[in-house]
Structure 1
Amino acid sequence: MQSSSHLFPVALISAERRGDLSEDVYRLKPANSPDTSVELAVTRLGMADAGLARGVPVILLHGSFSNRRFWYSPKGVGLGAYLARAGFDVWLPEMRGHGLSVRNQQWRNNRVADYARYDLPAIAAFVREQSGQVPHWLGHSQGGVTLAAALGGQYMGEPAVASAAFFGCQVNRRYWLLKIPPVEWVAHLLLKRCAQLSGVRLKRGPEDEPIGIALENLRWNGFLGRFKGAGRDWWAGLAEVRLPIMAVAAAGDLKTPEWACRALYDQLGSEQRTFMTLGRAQGFSSDFGHVEMLVSETAQTEVWPKVLNWLQSRSASQPREVAEESEAPLLGFRQDEVAATM
């Protein structure tokens, strides 16, 4: 099969009509990280009868223990489907070993640092190539943390991100027991004995998470811990971000409380930014929870339209790019490898 991209090998592994929507699933093999076995599944949602016309691209990043189904159910319900029906070009990546993305050889050691440094820039480059426009990004929970790491680490910026929205996302809530070195050491030894954390057993979601993610979080929360990786201080880097930003907290979210979401929001250096809390005190019908803020019948009527309004206001004057193939980044591939098949 001929590659679907001039950047790196990409295979279109399925193209289906799902009611009024079209669902195209691509498998990307960017080979831009130390583990060259990484393959990423990215699903594109559009209107089935729209022909070649494409709207403004939006990339939705799922959280931990999750996959693309957080945004788009088999019955065609979800924020991803809602935005596609509103005319946006919707892209749903699945992180390493989640959903349709196969587990890479070093899956056990995967970290947010790998997603932010290698995977998100590759996804951004592919979506820009396919759509001819700079995508907007929206991340929930760990998906938002990954997006924050990519922005704070300057792995992505304005050439790859038109705006960024964070839902239920925080890096400031600290578990102070882990600041005690002996407690941190014991926790580290216990976690090292595991290969993964089961979302089903923990009742957190349908997917497993590699133990590398847990060990990375332990480092962030440990003695002298800080939101950083690969020699870069992501937290300090967030102050340099100038993109339009929206941050959303849920009043009933016990995992990512409002104050922690706001701390991340306040660290961002953007002048165009919006903070919103989903709760009764703010005029909503209920105090939303961590998942319910985006996946619930109430979210459909009270939250999704606000997301749509934000994206429409950001994309109203967004110019369309005219990219030349000769200028496309190869992300680790030689020119003679660009047309390789998978």
Structure 2
Amino acid sequence: MKSSSRFFPVEIIRAEVRDTYFEDTYSVKPNNSSDKTVEISLIHLQPKINAKSNQVLLIHDVFQTHWQFDEPPYSSLANQLLEAGFSVWLMDWRAHGASKKNKDDSQNYLLNMAQYDLPAVVQFINEKRNAPIQMISIGYGAQMALHSINYTLPIAHYYCVNAKPVKSKKRYWIPGIKLLKRLKLVGKSWIKGAGTEFEHQSFFRHELKRHGLLSSFTFKEGKEALQAMKGVANTIVWVATNKKGVALAKRHLKQQARVQRILEKDVTPTLLELVIKQS
């Protein structure tokens, strides 16, 4: 494995020259968690001309891969960022898309990715070019980004589209709700969702742990993430396409929450405007 990082092994999988940009694909092997076989695919798109120093990292949602950014309402986002001169990075979650399958599927849950995978990816990007990084994330990818704030990443701004909650959902306080959810996972190793990828049942089992009447006392990762979020609240923009997303932002950061309520069709132009404005 050819290394292009001084921190951990990184293999250059592919280097392509397109009409208006360069495209490099890396396989990042962090070696920082209990499963040493984890490798993260990371695609770098770099404009040929008029390139800015600023960088944008795109994080997909559950059941998805980086190809989510080729589908509505994000289908032109990467290209428009490139045309605006930004360096664009697309990450595949562990065992998703072009990321190699790791040995222990039971370790593929969101908190592990927030603690180990995403910080390693950001560290590598920062090593390749020490320039401001803006992060765009969707759904559970946004939840991952919010949890990663606790690990002091060099991120200039976070744009969280329809983020999933870090705080526990109050509806799980109702007796029997969590039990019903757990029963639906019995006998299933892999779960099929709306996207192209299957998720291991451990992902959802660990998600259920964050919810419940006593989770505010027992879920220390959630408390730590909330505290970290409050410290950088001015760098977090909650992009919501529904009332639920607005309420979630207010529930997490109250008056500190910076919320953009938009129509789904306006997601790409809104994100592009935000990134350009903060560059």
Bin for the TM-score computed over the shorter chain: 0.7 to 0.9
1:96-150 superposed Cα distances (whole Å, 9 cap, x missing partner): 1111012211123321110111111101110001112131111111111001111
Displacement of 1:16: 1.8
Q: Secondary structure at the match of 1:4?
A: coil
Aligned to 1:156: 152
Any conservation in 2 of the 1:46–1:88 contact (CA below 8 Å)?
A: yes
Look at both structures and tell me which one has the larger radius of gyration over its CA atoms: 1
Aligned to 1:340: none
The whole-number CA distance in structure 2 between the counterparts of 1:189 and 1:103 is 27
User: 1:91 and 1:306, CA in 2 relative to 1: closer, same or farther beyond 3 A?
Assistant: same
Higher helix share: 2
User: 1:246 and 1:182, CA in 2 relative to 1: closer, same or farther beyond 3 A?
Assistant: closer
Q: Secondary structure at the match of 2:151?
A: coil
Identify the structure with bigger relative contact order (alpha carbons < 8 Å, sequence gap 6+).
1
- Structure 1 unaligned runs (5+)? 279-287, 316-342
- RMSD of Structure 2 on Structure 1 (CA): 2.7
Displacement of 1:77: 4.6
User: 1:18 and 1:108, CA in 2 relative to 1: closer, same or farther beyond 3 A?
Assistant: farther
Pair 1:274-2:274 in alignment? no
Aligned to 2:252: 264
The whole-number CA distance in structure 2 between the counterparts of 1:99 and 1:196 is 16
The whole-number CA distance in structure 1 between the counterparts of 2:223 and 2:236 is 22
Aligned to 1:17: 17
Aligned to 2:228: 237
Structure 1 stretch displaced more, 81-90 or 226-235: 226-235
Any conservation in 2 of the 1:248–1:275 contact (CA below 8 Å)?
A: yes
Q: Secondary structure at the match of 2:7?
A: coil
The whole-number CA distance in structure 1 between the counterparts of 2:162 and 2:233 is 21
- Structure 2 unaligned runs (5+)? none
Any conservation in 1 of the 2:191–2:201 contact (CA below 8 Å)?
A: yes
The whole-number CA distance in structure 1 between the counterparts of 2:221 and 2:248 is 24
Indicate which of 164, 169, 175 corresponds to 1:174: 169
Q: After the TM superposition, which residues 239-254 of structure 1 pair with which residues of structure 2 at under 5 Å, given as runs?
A: 239-251=230-242
Any conservation in 2 of the 1:14–1:25 contact (CA below 8 Å)?
A: yes
Aligned to 1:188: 182
Displacement of 1:81: 1.9
Q: Secondary structure at the match of 1:239?
A: helix
Aligned to 1:306: 270
Displacement of 1:173: 7.5
TM-score by length of 1: 0.72
Pair 1:198-2:192 in alignment? yes
Any conservation in 1 of the 2:13–2:26 contact (CA below 8 Å)?
A: yes
User: 1:257 and 1:128, CA in 2 relative to 1: closer, same or farther beyond 3 A?
Assistant: closer
Displacement of 1:275: 1.6
Q: Secondary structure at the match of 1:22?
A: strand
Query: Which amino acid in the other structure matches residue 307 of structure 1?
Result: L
User: 1:15 and 1:228, CA in 2 relative to 1: closer, same or farther beyond 3 A?
Assistant: farther
The whole-number CA distance in structure 1 between the counterparts of 2:136 and 2:222 is 26
Indicate which of 52, 60, 63 corresponds to 1:62: 60
Q: Secondary structure at the match of 2:13?
A: strand
Q: Percent identity?
A: 27
Q: After the TM superposition, which residues 94-173 of structure 1 pair with which residues of structure 2 at under 5 Å, given as runs?
A: 94-151=92-149, 154-157=150-153, 160-171=154-165
User: 1:182 and 1:259, CA in 2 relative to 1: closer, same or farther beyond 3 A?
Assistant: closer
User: 1:30 and 1:228, CA in 2 relative to 1: closer, same or farther beyond 3 A?
Assistant: same
The whole-number CA distance in structure 2 between the counterparts of 1:7 and 1:257 is 37
1:188-230 superposed Cα distances (whole Å, 9 cap, x missing partner): 254253222112xxxx111111212211221222332349455
Q: Secondary structure at the match of 2:269?
A: helix
Structure 1 stretch displaced more, 112-121 or 212-221: 212-221
